[in-house]
Structure 1
């Protein structure tokens, strides 16, 4: 990870994201399929997660990124250490 939170926040706000925040998830936490009323762009900074969209599941370790368009149904599962990610929300 080469950028800190302030740099990440500045970069995403320059790209038009309204809100940038840090999210922390408990070890083994599972979030059932849901949607958001915003676009999201994130980087995992600690731990790991699995993101399922449709039939595809993506493993995202620390340093990995993901993006979701608003209203995209998805599910989340977090690893044995939990996970922390920084996320920008637009819309």
Structure 2
């Protein structure tokens, strides 16, 4: 799966029932405090690094890593010194 491109990610996500797929880019050292989304998320980091905190657990994510979040799941995000980009599929 290391060679996955955006179109393939998008096609897979749409086939899984996600209805929106886009790329999100974050600036260096950005911090997003605890929050929720009114949609479920499936994402794949494609550039940079981030730390995702859900409950007591923090994951360090780098290119090729994927994560999911349920609708309304409380989480926080922190991005590395080079910022980060990820592809994200949303199920609204």
TM-score normalised by the chain length of structure 2: 0.97
Equivalent residue, structure 2, for 1:33 = 34
- Does residue 90 of structure 1 match 2:80? no
Equivalent residue, structure 1, for 2:8 = 7
1:70 counterpart SS class: coil
Aligned pairs for 1:35-50 within 5 A: 35-50=36-51
* Alignment gaps of 5+ in structure 2: none
The size of the alignment, in residue pairs, is 91
2:90 counterpart SS class: strand
> Cα RMSD (Å) of the superposition?
0.6
Q: Deviations over 1:21-65 (max 9, x none)?
A: 000000000000000000000000000000001111010011111
* Alignment gaps of 5+ in structure 1: none
